[in-house]
Amino acid sequence: MARISNSKVQTIRYYEQIGLLPAPERTPGNQRIYRQAHLDRLGFIRHSRELGFSLEQIKEILALSDDPGQPCATVDQIARRHLLEVESRIERLQSMGRELKRMLNQCSGNKVADCRIIEALSNHQFSRPDEPVSDRKPPPPHRSA
């Protein structure tokens, strides 16, 4: 199954351990016998992981899918929550991209002593991604008691 699904054996065994994949039957020689249902379920898990669903979310969705007579409102809620998380992550990444572009645009390329990138990274606790690095005030001097 690992070869057919292009998955690692350890991954398949881990999914069995945590209950995402049902334990397969075994031959008298104790080799696992995987059926098409195992392969289909593994494909579902892999596709869900590619979309960024957590193992816990996948486990919940699989439990719901094992009872097909249920309304799909819970699955819909899981997917909507996940979409909100993805959109939030995208916003954070876009903000990080804008900040990195600003830092690079302000770099004069001269000496490290004058490097605006190092200056901006040094003041990360004061970072405000939507404010240009050049407009930021330096942190107050540290005073010891």
Residue 117 — pLDDT band, cuts 50, 70, 90? confident
Domain residue spans in the chain? 2-68, 77-135
Per-residue model confidence (pLDDT) at position 139: 45
- The chain-wide mean pLDDT, for the chain, equals 85
Per-residue model confidence (pLDDT) at position 131: 52
Residue 38 — pLDDT band, cuts 50, 70, 90? very high
Q: Give the whole-angstrom CA distance, residue 137 versus residue 62.
A: 52
DSSP 109: S
Q: Is 88 exposed, middle or buried (0-12, 13-18, 19+ CB in 10 A)?
A: exposed
Per-residue model confidence (pLDDT) at position 130: 53
Contact by Cβ (8 Å): 34, 22: no
CA angle 41–44–48, rounded 5-degree value: 145
Per-residue model confidence (pLDDT) at position 70: 87
Residue 125 — pLDDT band, cuts 50, 70, 90? low
Tokens of 81: 């929550």
Per-residue model confidence (pLDDT) at position 115: 80
75: pLDDT strictly greater than 80 = yes
Q: Tokens 């249920």 sit at which residue?
A: 70
Percent of the chain whose predicted confidence (pLDDT) is above 90 = 63
Tokens of 9: 């054996």
CATH code of domain 2-68: 1.10.1660.10
Per-residue model confidence (pLDDT) at position 50: 96
